[in-house]
Structure 1
């Protein structure tokens, strides 16, 4: 690999070919020079940070996770094969497994996004919510201790709060507000 004072050429395997990058001092993972990563953050040797991403505080990008755009702030953890392709994630949020966060999504507090979840567009996930192989899209908001799981999709301007659990082959769309319901399971559209 060619080296310069600013870094070395590294191929992230994303089709762009070699780009100017450097190893992060805390963990050794590659960081493209267009990205900003605080020294207190941890970037694992197999993790990647690229394409203008910004990581502040003691956030951790672990395993083979990818952060390509977007902002991480605080004690956020991105792990396993998760991808952050945009959005803003702060607090003690955890993105893991094969989950994807993109576009202008906003995640804060201490939620956990896991399984094969998708958080996109202008969705908001907050408080202690759990998204387990579910989708939250459009301008939907999920907060409190709500759980979206097993293929459920929350879309539109829907707000889900409290201890609500939405799971299975359910699509909640429109201008709905759901709070305090123990469980929605099955087919609902």
Structure 2
């Protein structure tokens, strides 16, 4: 029999309680909203206040921080870190080992290539790519 809940004490002594998501068995903090059709890999964590939309796919080792939004149909490759209050638009594809900074906004249907770093507060327009962003910066 597997555990229903996992509790982890953070740096500030605050204990966060996680439950297993029914589709994929990933860890979802109490207070996060993850659609039942989303897939959350067993090694992925979604923090309190975060929202994950319909049919989103969160691969192995992902971490979605507090108050982040992962839109419907989004794909997160392995090891993606989504910063606090970042927004990833519907249908976006985020390549493995990418880091999306706090409060960054990734537009709908955007491609972020693997191993990319999007700075905190940056915006990538709808349908854009991280390559175009890097050239413009």
Compute the TM-score of the two structures, normalised by the length of structure 2.
0.81
Distance in 2, matches of 1:11 and 1:114, equals 32
Residue 122 in 1 paired to residue 121 in 2? yes
Residue among 65, 68, 71 paired with 2:69: 71
Q: Which residue of 1 aligns with 2:36?
A: 39
Show structure 2 runs of 5+ residues with no match: none
Any conservation in 1 of the 2:94–2:114 contact (CA below 8 Å)?
no
Q: Which has the higher contact order (CA 8 A, sep 6+)?
A: 2
Runs of 4+ with >3 A deviation: 14-18
- Which has the larger share of strand? 1
Q: Deviation of residue 25 (structure 1)?
A: 0.5
Whether the 8 Å contact between 1:47 and 1:63 is mirrored in structure 2 is yes
- Kindly state the Cα deviation for residue 18 of structure 1 after the two structures are TM-superposed: 5.5
CA distance in 2, matches of 1:10, 1:30: 10
The gaps in structure 1 that reach 5 residues or longer are 133-146, 153-165, 173-189
State the distance in 2 between where 1:66 and 1:24 align: 14
CA contact (8 A) 1:98 1:114 kept: no
Task: Give how far 1:83 is off.
Answer: 0.5
The answer on whether the counterparts of 2:110 and 2:129 sit within 8 Å (CA) in structure 1 is: yes
1:28 CA displacement:
0.6
RMSD (CA atoms)? 2.4
CA contact (8 A) 1:35 1:51 kept: yes
Report if the CA contact (8 A) 1:113-1:130 is conserved. yes
For residues 8 and 43 of structure 1, the distance between their equivalents in structure 2, rounded to whole angstroms, comes to 15
What's the CA shift for 1:122? 2.9
Task: Report the Cα offset of residue 120 of structure 1.
Answer: 3.0
2:111 is the counterpart of 1:112: yes
Report how many residues are paired. Answer: 132
In the TM superposition, residue 98 of structure 1 has moved relative to its aligned partner by 1.7
Note the C-alpha offset of 1:17: 7.6
